[in-house]
Chain A
Amino acid sequence: MPSAGTHRRSRHRFGKRMFTGWAVLVYLVLYLPIVVVVIFAFNQPTAVPAGASPCSVDPSRMGNVTVWNGGTTCWFHTALNDPTYVPAVKTSFWIALRASLIATVLGTAAALALARMKKRWRVPFDVLVYLTLVVPEIVIAVASLIFFVQAHNNLSIFPTLGENTILLGQIVFSASLVMLIVRARFVGMGSTLEEASFDLGSGPIATFRQVTLPRLLPAVIAGGLLSFTFSFDDYVLPAFTNGTVNTWPIVVYSAVRFGVTPAVNALATMMLVVTVTLILITGLVLRRSGASDLTGAPPPTLP
């Protein structure tokens, strides 16, 4: 008779295979549009005048770039040299970085305090947080624009429309995001370990640093990543509160009217390559150094 252990292992393997199969399928579907984007970064216009570079064709003469017209690599060069693309990407990146950092700090702090607060204080705060998620973005965008203009006119401590107003508006949504994610994790974490640490004489700060934070880290990082992604890809809010600053989504959206050229695809491809490379390098570095991977699980070797 096979032992319970064998049964368990085979069930585990079966479950693992099923779920892995599904996950792989989902990842494929997730990356399919990305693959399409990358492929079309090499696309040519429908008709290229003889002797001319495919990328020098005016947008109005490009024909249909959503069907494959043959390959070229010149778009990468065009994209990098376009005076608006790379600065816009840089701007988006710095705004997203600052916004997500601030939002993560604000949201985590609030989550920690709120999770165990008396209901009397917690409920109004919760309402506030959810309100920020419930407002349609177009509405908060116009309202924020009016707010910032009036605020700056009356109290010059408020910034003029520009990068800072964009990130100030984005943090409202991102902080709520982080708060909810961290709190869900914190609540489910249970307080036993913390109590134990407390009982053993660790002060609150040491407890936080050594017990709570490591276990909370997946949620904090998840929240931070989501905030960054939201901020980087945000169109509606920056479109209204940007003043004269261009973010990457603004550049892309506004190009739609006359046709998105493959140069945009080329830049998106380059960004993808950079981020994937960074992730791989970070992963390798972390593993080499034996640091715990960011899930909070301790490294495999323990004294």
Chain B
Amino acid sequence: MTTETVQPPKRSPRRRSFAPRYPGWLTAPSLIYYMIFFLGPLAILVVFSVATQAGFGSVSYTFSTSQFKALNDPLYIKVFRQTMLMAAGGTALTIAIGYPVAYWMSRYLTRYKTLALLLVIVPFWTSFLIRTYALKIILDPQGYLAHFVEWTGISNQFNVLYTGKAVAIGLAYNYLPLLILPVYASLERMDWKLVEAATDLGASPFKAFRQITLPLTLPGLITGALLVFIPMCGEYVVPQLLGGGQFAFVGTVIGSNFLGAQNWPFGSAMAIAFMVLLSIFVVIYIAFATREEQFGA
């Protein structure tokens, strides 16, 4: 402990949270970067979405809401709904599988944390396509897993491949690190003594979790959930491979329109409508995260 006298920083009499602020210009590089390399392409999309198609891959620059009106069709509404449901299911599965793993890494590991973390990621350095093919082999109705399931009597017919279940499994598998890492990073700041104290005082482990761990680490969980849910909505490769091309999700339909029909105006309109829809979730998060930051810890 130093004995040097230090001038305490000036404070207003009403003591508020006084956290050292980082200069705003730290955001400048990313801001400029986004403006050029994200808003640039996005502006192109917006322009397309109010234009009309003038032949293959070319656009007649007008201002027309016809593309958006064309979206207001039961077919596309159904596609949007199916997509959200699929992504919600996939996200729930990913959280159910991944959260306990992140918890384990954070609470019970000491020396091998980094190793465990890296081992989660390593499988994802093989090609996504090869992994998904391997999943196909594993989920094959005449494969070893199927035989095992039927033999142990868990179910008498292992008909998972080319159904929604296979898609959910494939999605959860591919998005697991995207959930585990943020949750882990957030759980790392937990002081586990709090939980031990609570359980000592008679709280059940579940209650301790719900009232202590969960609220303190919610930002990480929400971040992870959103990082998983949002890209899942735009997925089209996994549904194609594991769903046998039977499902028309937003990603698939946008792909068909952009690539197959080269109808950039319609594809852009669909993409923008989709982004607006998803932004609702984003708004909820921002509102939530704002509150959390005010309370701090």
Contact = CB atoms under 8 A, between A and B. Distances in A.
A272 B267 contact: no
The B contact surface, by secondary structure, is helix
A285 interface: no
B199 A119 contact: no
B297 A190 contact: yes
Contact of A279 (B24, B45, B115, B234): B115
Interface string A33-52: 11011001000000000000
> Most A CB atoms within 10 A — which of B128, B136, B188, B290?
B188
B130 interface: yes
B24 A113 contact: yes
Contact of A226 (B25, B129, B178, B196): B178
B27 A125 contact: yes
A180 B201 CA distance: 36
A116 B19 contact: yes
Nearest to B192: A12
B293 A19 contact: no
Interface string B38-74: 1111101100000000000000000000000000000
Given A19-B103, A189-B297, A275-B122, A113 B27 contact: yes
A30 B98 CA distance: 11
B177 interface: yes
B126 A235 contact: no
Contacts of A146: 41, 44
> Most B CB atoms within 10 A — which of A181, A204, A233, A264?
A181
Nearest to A253: B129
B121 A191 contact: no
The A contact surface, by secondary structure, is helix
A57 interface: no
A168 B41 CA distance: 12
A37 B130 contact: yes
Nearest to A107: B30
Nearest to B113: A295
Interface in A156-196: 168-169, 171-172, 175, 177, 179-182, 184-185, 187-191, 194-195
Interface string A218-262: 110011011001001101000000000000110011001000100
Contacts of A4: 200
Interface of B: 2, 4, 6, 8-9, 17-27, 29-31, 33-34, 37-42, 44-45, 97-98, 100-101, 103-105, 107-108, 110-111, 113-131, 133-138, 173, 176-178, 181-182, 184-186, 188-189, 196, 199-200, 205, 216-217, 219-220, 222-223, 226-227, 230-231, 233-234, 236-237, 250-251, 254-255, 258-259, 264, 267-268, 271, 274-275, 278-279, 282, 285-286, 289-290, 292-293, 296-297
30 contacts: A15-B108, A20-B108, A23-B100, A26-B101, A34-B134, A109-B29, A113-B24, A113-B27, A116-B19, A122-B290, A123-B290, A126-B289, A128-B39, A134-B278, A135-B42, A136-B274, A139-B254, A140-B42, A181-B185, A188-B220, A194-B19, A201-B4, A226-B177, A233-B128, A235-B128, A260-B129, A279-B115, A279-B122, A293-B111, A294-B113
| Cβ-closest 5 pairs across A and B | A136-B234, A33-B134, A191-B19, A143-B41, A190-B297
